[in-house]
Amino acid sequence: TYIPYTNRPLGWHTDGYYNAGGLQIRAWLLYCARPAAEGGANGILDHEIAYIRLRDHNPDWIRALMADDAFTIPSNTEKGQEIRPDHAGPVFSISADGTLHMRYSARQRNVVWKDDDDTRGAATFLLDLFKAGDDHMFELRLNAGEGIISNNILHRRDGFRDPQDTSLNRLMYRARYYQRLPQPED
């Protein structure tokens, strides 16, 4: 079972980081129908803040993470059948509409970073940022009837515990979109 479908914690990531270039997730919605009995809080950080923190610390790291081979998700094979081939691509890219997009997972397994000093430095910096925290990181535990709509910001989830009565288990609905949310008009 994949971790998102369990009660285990999920590390920092953007949705669809394992998707091929043309199928990048640009926005998502998370709606809570029923919260877990305990835990399940989400951490969120706008990926543009992560970009700024990296750029301000070392602009070469941004160039490294914009390389077409900066970040690879290895193929997924089950029972000898390839479900998904390797997907290499940039961590940061500029979308056709001029907006910043991020493709990222803090996972230490099943993620291959380009083997050069700047890419390794940037990857380490991001992990350290997530551990240390930032004034722009927020934590929230969704209650029934609450949700989040975002342009695929960085997010994570704490582990959680469901009640004994399985009819009251945590129930979240998620929708993912290939298009960004429109920006409000000035």
Residue range 63-99, pLDDT digits in tens:
999 999 999 998 888 888 888 888 899 999 999 889 9
Question: Per residue of the chain (186 residues), what is the pLDDT tens digit?
Answer: 466 667 889 999 999 888 887 889 999 999 999 999 999 999 999 999 999 999 999 999 999 999 999 999 988 888 888 888 888 999 999 998 899 999 999 987 789 999 999 999 999 999 999 999 999 999 999 999 999 999 999 999 999 999 888 888 999 999 999 999 987 774
Minimal CA–CA distance to 30: which of 22, 40, 20?
Answer: 40
pLDDT at residue 30 in the model: 96
Query: Do the bridges between strand 38-39 and strand 154-157 make them parallel or antiparallel, or are there none, so unpaired?
Result: unpaired
What letter would DSSP give residue 110? S
Q: What is the pLDDT of residue 147?
A: 97
Q: Among candidates 172, 182, 168, which has minimal Cα distance to 148?
A: 172
What pLDDT is attached to residue 3? Answer: 61
Kindly report the pTM of this predicted structure.
0.89
Give residue 4's pLDDT.
64
